[in-house]
Structure 1
């Protein structure tokens, strides 16, 4: 309020005054192309290039870069104290002649800025364990199938950072042997934007176990002919989404069928655990990749925030496939922090097969 009162008490300069001042400044410095825009971007340049431990993403947030030009700022989260420290460091660099009075920058209360969906690792770990416990408490075979599918759907989103759209993960785009996912999760865009995401070993194990779970279910329900045909397509790697839900078409139908998982299905089935749009998984992944030291350009490549023609499969890409492949080790760290290395997919108790150790929900 003191700042507002002081400003109201002052005779503020007009835009024409700034223009005249800049004209005189350009003339004295010999910089005919100096403009207000270039002066305003000076802080961004100092933050992103010359401020220790800072980068372009934080500079976007501090300089309030418009959303169309900096979508990443809405997919991550930082404390106000952290941002203020970067801001003050940048001003200190600009203040090489000690012309600035920086005493107005005082201690700030800690609070989170940026994405409200960027959940902390401890919170997401609890969510993962709750969903797994909910899965293991299924009362029948069909319920266990659907809950297992939803659990693996969340694991898939958490260890890839994909947009949680409908029908994720076509089998012909998933290479479990080489550990690659080819995805275009912007299907409404006119320009095709396929990109590669590396699959970490823990995710590969979960997807492989889920495929085995489907085959086991097929063997136990051989009279479900339509279900069996869909699982055959998955097993053969055809144009079929891996993650499925059992769906009763009509009361008179002799057997159920399988349908692709939609984002709304994931939300409604788990809203008693977390009442939030499943897009929170994407915000979480971007934040964790940044915290674990992945470069901004690589994060944008994996998440799908590159600018036009800079995709890894495009001619102007600044990252190689080898660079992207190395991000798999970071996803593996995230998986371990979430306890996914200790969680396995269990068959329903009445199924034939080796039962794996269940997660200890009491000690989650």
Structure 2
């Protein structure tokens, strides 16, 4: 078992055990006759509280040490168990089974040790216990053991769920980055191709007297052609067999088509263009379109048919994108699979060094706002 530093909860539980033990011994409210060595049993109660405080460091050792000491007292000294002694055993049994797998040898041995404690406690009882007392002891021990097993299983399921969630998030980020790479590779291939062709054109325009320059440009042209070929191979790898390479890349110039698609799906979309539109770099233009597309898709998924305003702002040095909806106007749509739309938007904004803010608005609804530097 991994060692653990006692937590405030452990300290609280240990304090309750110690107070219960001391109060029971001092007041004489035990199931046993008055004990002549009360001071010794008060000290035993304090020692049990300390054992409870550090029980998570070695739950198996704590249970065995506690049970052995008490069984020895029952057998050798002839003492009858007090209530706090039995309840402390149940707590230690619960802790062990909340840490160890039920098939672990520590768990099996711990159950046997706890059973021996209960048997010795019942055997030392005065007057002898009836069947009802035996049934109560067995049921309470079973409840403590079952609770420990249930807590361990719940903890294990929670850890597995967290790991699955982290794995799905990483897969979503990887998939979105691959999608961005596929789209931007088209742009890069086109740009390098244009550069290569223009370099070849300049080389052909030079006369024979500029042979050195022609050779340099020929080398640049050959390198460019190799780079284009390598990029195309990589692009085919990223695309996969199911991707249609003939589909043109999207941009804000196709925003009207996107609005028509979303309107057909149930959204009422209003667009506002602020500032004087300027030509955008292809990669930035594509990412801006995808951000608006994902924001509208999320609105349809989470708010259902509603009113949405899309604002495109052209400012000196930056492009702002804002998608604001009014929130659900009817019954909320049925929840589907959780998507990772925000993951894609964050990846695209981060790619260009921009900022993204999302969240509800005071008057109701939800807003997505991205600022992309030009």
Which TM-score applies when normalising by structure 2?
Answer: 0.19
Give 1 or 2 for the bigger CA radius of gyration: 2
Which TM-score applies when normalising by structure 1?
Answer: 0.19
Higher helix share: 2
> Bigger relative contact order, structure 1 or 2, given CA contacts below 8 A and separation 6+?
1
